[in-house]
Chains A and B, each alone.
Chain A
Amino acid sequence: MASVSVRRLAVSFGHVKVIENLDLEVEEGEFIVLLGPSGCGKSTLLNTIAGLIDIEAGQVWISGKNVTWTEPKDRGIGMVFQSYALYPRMTVQQNLSFGLRMAGVPRAEIEARVAKAAKLLQLEDLLRRRPAELSGGQRQRVAIGRALVRNVDVFLFDEPLSNLDAKLRNELRVEIKKLHRDLGNTMIYVTHDQIEALTLADRIAVMRNGVIQQLATPQDVYHRPKNQFVAGFIGSPTMNFLTGRLILGAAGPTLDLGSVSIDLSAYGFARQSSDVPAVLGVRPEHIDLGAASPGHFAANGKVEIVEPMGADMIVWSRIADTPVRIRVDGDSAFRNGDDIAFHFDLARASLFDAQSGERL
């Protein structure tokens, strides 16, 4: 049984349609990350699941119940916000217990739940403090605690870490991952940080303009992006794209880049079509230096720019006039103008229809 299921959802603000005909099935205990550029409708989708936005059409089911017209408090969800949204003048203790008190939960039960959440999130020493007296990380832990004490099946997170600095973000990310491991609840998590998405998610839903482009495991999204948008959105530095023409010749399929032709025999086609404009995507980390291995495409070029990044180094060169990034070891010593030879495995590359952007 799906834990959360969104069916044929449509949402609009005034005349602006933000989401149209969206389906999403989330399994029990699954950690789903909604990933996408700003304004693509991630928060809108999350708020719709929470019941904070009226929908135009479609249904929302949570734990087997149709909750489309149910009040947020009765949907069995807890939510954590980017701005923490803590009740400003209340202590941590009160922040955690206020909702329960309103719901008429017995006092002893409230205390037990608050104590449990506080222990889990290491908030025990902070219970007397007010939000203004807490650090950003502490505040977000309280916000998570407030969702925890509700004893619900589904947690919704709307960019909970984006107000924190990089170090805290990493720490808390691990904590959330542990929390999921320990509690086993369903979690839907919005972010536009792909590292968060890749590290946390069981499955990632990559969104664009209100449409889920691909819903798959992090490996699939990374290695077998469904279209050129997903390919370009995931991965840093961005994937290299080589635009040419797909030709299914007698000698096998090739991508004609004009001056250069790439043999695609080693590529695992998803579907075949001939003589169409196509784009070959190769991740910078999948290009190796040195002599070619069999089945790899090899090329020579000059170093144009060197970008050291600590552990790694990005070297810019060219294949048939198209600039390409190559990710090499950070200790390498390259200088502009050096001659280099490089190659990549076509089995790890992705080929897209240039017009539709779909994977070929």
Chain B
Amino acid sequence: MQPRFRNWHVQLALLPAWLIVVFAYLGTMVFTVRMSFTSSKGIPIMDDVGLRQYDRLFHTDRWTISVENILIFGLLFILGCLVLGFLLAVFVDRLARFENTLRTIFLYPLAMSFVVTGLVWQWILNPALGLQANVRNWGWTSFTFDWLEQGDRAIYLVAFAGIWQSCGLVMAIMLAGLRGVDQELWKAARIDGIPTWRIYLHIIIPALAPMFITATLLLATAVVRSYDIVVAMTAGGPGISSEVPAKFVIDFLFTRQNIGLATAAATVMLITVLVVLMPWLYLQYFRSAPGARRAA
């Protein structure tokens, strides 16, 4: 018997898993890409209109705005969460006595969904109901904070709410990382006379690189999928100024009944993610096989 077929019963047991991978994942992906070349409206049809949907996509203001927004949101959200999450972790780590209380406080927002987060911050930031109205009631009548009403500012508030919600998660990851740092490393650095902030910057943060990568990946998937927080907080508004790609896809798939355009947008998202992911996967592969590199 040929060796590669010796384990046929193992392969048989894996068959359902293979079927799921092929049909549920690859299948839907292929289907999505295929649909983006059709003129499908509310119901999928199988014609071929070439790149027409893509042409329209890139001439649609709403898409361009969505892409701009996801870049702003993604950058702020990921950086904000990483920086704030790390600082909180350092803070909690240093105040070990209050760790439990602090950790609970910072992790609390995470227990809320993006929808609730979006709603809560929408209320707080709503000029007519929230912060602005209250400060004015207290007597500072000229106080104005109405970014939520301003088309070019709203996405920053969404990023802020996202950071508020998710930095606790990053804190938890970083705290685990900090706890895992060899105490002798701290001692060695103190003997070398390295200032504390430099120890964090040059030694601890590099040592936590895997934590940062994990956190970044988690946050990045949240960015790509960001939909609910926008819907709950701004519904894409004012106007269409805080729209994001995932919302574009969902709106066109259902409300707007343009499957062709929606799948074109989804395909662009997929390709972007792959393009961003490729170098990382590439690095990852070579890092995990140093022997291969040395041999080369």
Contact = CB atoms under 8 A, between A and B. Distances in A.
Contact of A98 (B182, B184, B187, B194): B194
B188 A73 contact: no
B187 A102 contact: no
Given A82-B184, A83-B182, A102-B198, A88 B191 contact: no
Given A79-B187, A81-B184, A98 B192 contact: yes
Interface stretch (B93-101, B199-207, B225-233): B199-207
Interface string A305-331: 000000000000000000000000000
A89 B192 contact: no
Contact of B191 (A77, A87, A89, A90): A77
A72 B202 contact: no
A79 B206 contact: no
Interface residues of B, number: 19
Contact of A52 (B190, B202, B209): B190
Contacts of B207: 88-89
B209 A50 contact: no
Interface string B43-71: 00000000000000000000000000000
Contacts of A220: none
Given A87-B203, A88-B203, A89-B206, A102 B184 contact: no
A73 B203 CA distance: 17
A357 interface: no
A102 B188 contact: no
Give the most central of A71, A72, A103, A146: most B CB within 10 Å: A72
A133 B287 CA distance: 12
B16 interface: no
A87 B185 contact: yes
A277 interface: no
A78 B206 contact: no
The B interface, classified by DSSP as helix, strand, loop or mixed, is: helix
A47 interface: yes
Contacts of A87: 185, 188-189, 202-203, 206
Please tell me the size bucket of the interface on A.
20 to 34
A136 interface: no
B192 A146 contact: yes
A89 B193 contact: no
Interface in B123-141: none
B195 interface: yes
Contacts, number: 71
A85 interface: yes
A232 interface: no
A29 interface: no
Interface in B202-229: 202-203, 206-207, 209
Interface string A87-104: 111100000001100110
Contact of A85 (B187, B194, B290): B187
Nearest to A75: B191
A85 B202 contact: no
Given A85-B187, A85-B188, A102 B206 contact: no
A129 to B, nearest CB: 11
A79 B188 contact: yes
Interface in A55-80: 71-74, 77-79
Contacts of A52: 187, 190-191
Given A102-B193, A102-B194, A81 B203 contact: no
A47 B187 contact: yes
B191 A50 contact: yes
A82 B184 CA distance: 8
A98 B203 CA distance: 10
Contacts of B185: 83, 85, 87-88
A82 B188 CA distance: 11
A74 B190 CA distance: 10
A119 B195 CA distance: 29
A299 to B, nearest CB: 51
12 contacts: A52-B187, A72-B187, A78-B191, A79-B191, A81-B187, A81-B188, A85-B187, A87-B185, A89-B207, A99-B193, A102-B192, A133-B290
Interface of B: 182, 184-185, 187-195, 198, 202-203, 206-207, 209, 290
